[in-house]
Amino acid sequence: MNIQLLHQNIADTKRAVSLEYITTDDLKKSKNRQALKLAGFKADQDTICFLYDKNTLICGLDSHSCDDVRSVTAVAIKALQKTEYKSANITIDDKSLIPAFVEGFVLGGYSYEVYKTTKSKSKLKQISLIYTKDDYKSAIKIFSDAIVVADATCFTRDIVNTTPEDLTPVTFAKLAKKLAKENALGCKILDEQALLKENCTSMLAVGRASRHESQLIHLSYKPKNARKKVSLIGKGLTYDSGGLSLKPGASMVTMKMDKAGACAVLGIIKAASEMKLDIEINAFIGAVENMIGGNAYKPDDVLVSRSGKTIEVRNTDAEGRLVLADLLDYAQDKVKADYIFDFATLTGACMVALGQYTTGVMGHSSRLKHAVGKASTDAGELTASLPFNKHLKKQLKSEIADICNISNKPYGGAITAGLFLDAFIKEENKEKWLHFDIAGSAYTESPWDVNVYGGTGASVRFMSKFLKSL
């Protein structure tokens, strides 16, 4: 399916089906109000009504805001894909809504059918956004950036949805190399021998029972005269069985999504490089598989992290933070960044706190959390801040090591996981760092908004928006 932005003066508007977006107030003035009344259409949010004799699809929404437009567009594209129409058009007079339309069509129309023998087919091949104002040049820039971000989000979804047998730590590294070649990025891969030389023994412990070697991936995008330098760190558990603290069988299903933080990091650097942002970006990924075996790391082990801090292991299913401990330390040593962001499907506790739709944000800088919150609101993604406090920090105390990998109490698990990571952030970087727990927002089995079954591509849109704001 191709999407294009046309100017009114050059557009061929004689398309097979036109989309019309109306609120309950608009309904009263609609030229089709009698037909819609007979159909029982009330213009509620995310409702649609086909007027086939007029080749028109009416889309109901609460307001003409970006969020409401994006959401109903995702409903509309699913309906259009089931029809015999080959093309569609929508007239736009507000360029700020262009990203909402693009994301609604691209993300709402996404499907992942790699493993199906029979693929679904749609007759719909062309969608035209027809812009009516004179400032077409500025509108086309907004449109092209929106396409890049939407495509990068779908790219991220594809990786998340790939099975753990097909996407191992080694094949993850190959995928990163391929992206680096296509987008002219720097690329460095550390295998297990190189990781041992770097003293990344905490990360290595998590992956040592797997038949697939752990990999540390470092991609870099370095434009000339970069205004800022940003480090992105992603948890890349290509599969998480829980290790010897084995997950229940039902909880292992969907654990291919435990690499979603790393996938988001790839999607973000892809989008930034294609938009040609004047921001240097360094992406660090810890690609590891957490399995069981005679050589698996164990509860009661004490690991020595790359930073030298010792970690008492009391649960091998709290493995992502052990990978990130070494990865964060490595990233801080290799790049002196203005901002440091890590992305991880870290805790089920984050879903308990915020629900499945919202990314948890943790860190010390209120200013930075506010800036990212604004970007996420503008991008249509949900984030919420979870506050650190000294009392929860005490719950990570170990009697035999510097820190314990889980809290000694069953409360505030998302925050104590963030506080564990905070222990590996150097003092000079505390105000530059934020942790994003995407455990709930990165994957869904119940479609919502522009998200279909599977990976959502969480964080790509709002972080692209934040990077552009720099």
Pairing assessment for the beta strands 56-60 and 48-51 based on DSSP bridges: antiparallel
Q: Residue 190: which residues within 8 A CB-CB, separation 6 or more?
A: 198, 200, 215, 216, 217, 218
The two tokens of residue 45 are 């949010």
Assign 237 to helix, strand or coil: strand
CA-to-CA distance for 101 and 465, rounded, in angstroms? 16
The two tokens of residue 187 are 């690329």
The two tokens of residue 232 are 């992105």
CA-to-CA distance for 44 and 28, rounded, in angstroms? 13
Q: For residue 432, how far is the Cα from the chain centroid? A: 21
The two tokens of residue 401 are 């090591």
Task: State the DSSP H helix or E strand holding residue 434, giving kind and residue range, or none if neither.
Answer: strand 433-437
Which conformational region is residue 39 in: left (phi greater than 0), alpha (psi within -120 to 50 degrees), or beta? alpha
Q: What's the one-letter identity of residue 351?
A: M
CA angle (7 as vertex; 377, 98 as ends), nearest 5: 10
**Which stretches of 262-388 are assigned E, i.e. beta strand?**
279-290, 302-304, 310-312, 339-344, 359-363, 383-385
The two tokens of residue 371 are 């800036």
Q: Which of 239, 250, 217 is nearest to 163 (CA)?
A: 239
The two tokens of residue 432 are 């530059």
- Write phi, then psi, for 455 (nearest 5 degrees): -65, 140
The two tokens of residue 22 are 């109306």
Q: Residue 317: which residues within 8 A CB-CB, separation 6 or more?
A: 240, 242, 243, 245, 246, 247, 290
CA-to-CA distance for 358 and 348, rounded, in angstroms? 12
Pairing assessment for the beta strands 215-221 and 186-190 based on DSSP bridges: antiparallel
Residue whose structure tokens are 């901002």 = 339
Q: Which of 243, 239, 235 is nearest to 260 (CA)?
A: 235
Give, rounded to a whole angstrom, the gap between the first and last alpha carbons of the chain. Answer: 32
What residues act catalytically? 247, 321
